[in-house]
Chains A and B, each alone.
Chain A
């Protein structure tokens, strides 16, 4: 049973990865892809496979706006057609490679691996926080050897922070995160939200840094899963006694793209609404978040190995923290089943979050 949607836009990378005259090769949904930007600025995504002996084209080189295979020198243009077959005049018409729609939006590269006639750019999820004057992003990438659904599970269950992330964003003991009630809701049809408020807590190290404040804080976090594979952690922190409208707020965008059933490209963009021009802070956040996601990767990869070893699905015995992950998985499974049974079905992603201050029940 397929675990992902095919007819959807997935993040293929950051726009600036295609600067210069090289190319980037990555596998998405088990399909090897080679991407480059032509000298005209247009984007190209080719199947990374020479039709001759199936060697990855990325083993070859880029010659101006064409790719040359590193085995026998066959060249392919951005339309996928073979333009040169060394040693022969006749170029077989079957010698062409598949192309995929590749679009730049909000400084992200978006690829469509399904039916190309369904690739409507209107369906690209809105991740404007990665490219907007009111927000400053810190960006990064992790390659995680895990089923992307385990990553979604992990992002929808933030209760693990108190054990996995004590050095970065977690709280322990009586302030451990699962003891704060979480409210789970389904928004816009296909988004799962898990909202939690933590009033009057000691600031974990990462939050003390971004607030530049050591005292007690109020903190909210809303984990959002937007099918098929984008998650957001919306968090706000502010000193106790101040108003949530002035909170330091972040939209942590987790842009997951399955590479294979058991490996995931994890592009992330952590946009903040305060101290926008402090480059040092941008770098410190990159470091803090990168450390945090390293901690996640350790747990996720171990978990994947055990899942493979025992051949069991997880959660094996569910805990209360699994409500949102389980709802998100069921939602995805429903969408995949629809896509497999109804050829006209296309999932339309909704805006993930409004930027207005959320309604909080915790007092100031």
Chain B
């Protein structure tokens, strides 16, 4: 087990909204959890080998528990479905230490928070954080319907309820979010934080660019792949189909380097995912594609991997070597 992994127990599970469940995770082998800041996420290592990233919805000064919220994806391949159907109170889970790839810029004089659907999770933690220091912000929260809106009542009853604005797609009488209007006054002191589905983020980033926001003031995180841009990533193993040999890949080494360390040479050329020389067929497991060679369709097939730079979303990858 990776020493940075933490064993936690689900001490509370509740349904927050249609298709969204909250989990409170407390440490099993220690008294407190590592401290972190608003915008952080954890990796959750599911027993089926899948790794998923979930943002922390609140940052508790006492660091006694982590709170995450999980949206059930109807197309789930075992991540959110397993969380919803199998993970219940009392169960134990392995998680990573928190990482923050979406930190608040505390030099800002004002924050605009934009959340779409389940993207509320890091944004909620940010709203609490800025409120706690008396900072200036607005929160704009959009969802398909009120029924699908996690934390609605909690926000509506919070100390910052006057700064929160809700938008639903399915009610004709509610005002739609006017992005261009909302973003019409860019300033070096105002920072925008956006989280939600890709289309939502794209629309917000586009509107910000149209309204001449500086790129430095626009921050976003795709909910579905929060950790993809981290420098290297977690530990996993590759198994060679021919011999059954299992080789672990460290967080700071590439698959190719791990193979070479064990005496398995694969042809390499550019070593940065451009040329496709090191493509290896994948027999099982889910690659974390980081190359610039495969098309989106080829990546979705998950049957080949560039071992010079790509990694794994599953605990093990079986390679046709």
Q: Which of B212, B272, B293 contacts A364 (CB 8 A)?
A: B212
B274 pairs with A320, CB closer than 8 A: yes
A326 pairs with B275, CB closer than 8 A: yes
Q: Cα distance A322–B295 when bound, in Å?
A: 15
Question: Which residues of B lie under 8 Å from residue A318 when comparing CB positions?
Answer: 269-270, 274-275, 277
Question: Which residues of A lie under 8 Å from residue B300 when comparing CB positions?
Answer: none
Question: Which residues of B lie under 8 Å from residue A186 when comparing CB positions?
Answer: 295-296
B296: nearest chain-A partner, CB-CB = A186
B274 pairs with A323, CB closer than 8 A: yes
Question: Which residues of B lie under 8 Å from residue A320 when comparing CB positions?
Answer: 270, 272, 274
Q: Cα distance A361–B211 when bound, in Å?
A: 11
Asked whether A317 is an interface residue with its Cβ less than 8 Å from the other chain, the reply is yes
Asked whether B18 is an interface residue with its Cβ less than 8 Å from the other chain, the reply is no
Question: Which residues of A lie under 8 Å from residue B117 when comparing CB positions?
Answer: none
A326 pairs with B214, CB closer than 8 A: no
Question: Which residues of A lie under 8 Å from residue B277 when comparing CB positions?
Answer: 318
B292 pairs with A319, CB closer than 8 A: no
Q: Which of B210, B275, B276 contacts A359 (CB 8 A)?
A: B210
- The tally of residues in A whose CB lies under 8 Å from a CB in B reads 19
Q: Which of A319, A363, A364 contacts B274 (CB 8 A)?
A: A319
Q: Cα distance A361–B276 when bound, in Å?
A: 30
Asked whether A360 is an interface residue with its Cβ less than 8 Å from the other chain, the reply is yes
Q: Cα distance A319–B215 when bound, in Å?
A: 27
Question: Which residues of A lie under 8 Å from residue B215 when comparing CB positions?
Answer: 361-363
Q: Cα distance A297–B214 when bound, in Å?
A: 39
Question: Which residues of A lie under 8 Å from residue B295 when comparing CB positions?
Answer: 186, 327, 330
Q: Cα distance A327–B292 when bound, in Å?
A: 9
Asked whether B209 is an interface residue with its Cβ less than 8 Å from the other chain, the reply is yes
Report A300-352 residues with CB < 8 Å from chain B CB: 315-320, 322-323, 326-327, 330
A359 pairs with B209, CB closer than 8 A: yes
Q: Cα distance A242–B306 when bound, in Å?
A: 43
Q: What does the 1/0 interface line of A209-249 toward B look like (CB < 8 Å)?
A: 00000000000000000000000000000000000000000
Nearest chain A CB to B19's CB is how many angstroms away?
Answer: 32
Asked whether B182 is an interface residue with its Cβ less than 8 Å from the other chain, the reply is no
Q: Which of A316, A326, A363, A364 contacts B276 (CB 8 A)?
A: A326
Q: Which of A316, A317, A359, A363 contacts B206 (CB 8 A)?
A: A359
Chain A residues at the B interface, C-beta cutoff of 8 Å: 184, 186, 315-320, 322-323, 326-327, 330, 359-364
A322 pairs with B270, CB closer than 8 A: yes
Chain B residues at the A interface, C-beta cutoff of 8 Å: 206, 209-210, 212, 214-215, 269-270, 272, 274-277, 292-293, 295-296
Nearest chain B CB to A182's CB is how many angstroms away?
Answer: 10
Q: Cα distance A184–B296 when bound, in Å?
A: 13
Question: Which residues of A lie under 8 Å from residue B212 when comparing CB positions?
Answer: 363-364
Pairs across A and B, CB under 8 Å, 19 listed: A186-B295, A315-B270, A315-B275, A317-B269, A318-B269, A318-B277, A322-B270, A322-B274, A322-B275, A323-B292, A326-B275, A327-B292, A327-B293, A327-B295, A359-B209, A359-B210, A361-B209, A361-B215, A362-B215
Question: Which residues of B lie under 8 Å from residue A322 when comparing CB positions?
Answer: 270, 274-275
Question: Which residues of A lie under 8 Å from residue B270 when comparing CB positions?
Answer: 315, 317-320, 322
Closest 6 CB pairs of A and B: A318-B275, A318-B270, A323-B292, A318-B274, A361-B215, A359-B209
Nearest chain B CB to A158's CB is how many angstroms away?
Answer: 16
A326 pairs with B274, CB closer than 8 A: yes
- Best-buried of B272, B274, B276, B292 by chain A (most CB within 10 Å): B274
Nearest chain A CB to B257's CB is how many angstroms away?
Answer: 18
B209 pairs with A184, CB closer than 8 A: no
Q: Cα distance A360–B212 when bound, in Å?
A: 9
Q: Cα distance A362–B216 when bound, in Å?
A: 10
Nearest chain A CB to B256's CB is how many angstroms away?
Answer: 15
Q: Cα distance A306–B259 when bound, in Å?
A: 34
Question: Which residues of A lie under 8 Å from residue B276 when comparing CB positions?
Answer: 326
A326 pairs with B293, CB closer than 8 A: yes
Question: Which residues of B lie under 8 Å from residue A316 when comparing CB positions?
Answer: 269
Question: Which residues of A lie under 8 Å from residue B269 when comparing CB positions?
Answer: 316-318
Q: Cα distance A184–B295 when bound, in Å?
A: 11
Nearest chain A CB to B307's CB is how many angstroms away?
Answer: 15
Q: Cα distance A322–B277 when bound, in Å?
A: 13
Question: Which residues of B lie under 8 Å from residue A359 when comparing CB positions?
Answer: 206, 209-210
Q: Cα distance A49–B183 when bound, in Å?
A: 66
B268: nearest chain-A partner, CB-CB = A317
Question: Which residues of B lie under 8 Å from residue A327 when comparing CB positions?
Answer: 292-293, 295
Q: Cα distance A190–B210 when bound, in Å?
A: 27
Question: Which residues of B lie under 8 Å from residue A364 when comparing CB positions?
Answer: 212
